[in-house]
Amino acid sequence: MGTYRPRDLFPLWIEQTPFPEGYKLPNLVLYEGYGDPQKHIRHFLKQCGEPAQNQALCLKQFPLSLEGIAFDWYCSLDGVVVPSWEAMKNGCEESQCLYRRDSRYL
């Protein structure tokens, strides 16, 4: 099994994009992989504020909003280069392992 290094997922230009001076990471609501991933993405972008206009900053912060099976999905991307925020959003929205209803509330 390979060593998980999130920086391997993104092109170098994304890794080299700095956060704005004085930027503080928002207190992100975590997504466990249950419910609608599109709703989580909309919530994530709203929480990020102005830096959400920069796809590199979205890509760098997005994994921090995932846990449980959602983070497992993200880790499964090991060896895959995610070229853009749009590709990450599409992958998250289309992933079968993420679009689940939480049976705890049925």
Average pLDDT over the chain, rounded to whole?
81
Beta strand spans in 1-106 (E)? none
pLDDT per position as a tens digit, 47-72 = 998 888 999 999 999 999 999 999 99
Mean pLDDT is lowest, of 14-18, 34-38, 59-63, 98-102, for 98-102
3-state secondary structure 18-43: CCCCCCCCCCCCCECCECCHHHHHHH
Is the pTM higher than 0.95? The answer reads: no
**C-alpha–C-alpha distance, residues 23 and 71, integer Å:** 24
What's the pLDDT score for residue 15?
84
Q: Specify the higher pLDDT residue, 85 or 4.
A: 85
The model's confidence at residue 40, banded by pLDDT at 50, 70 and 90, is very high
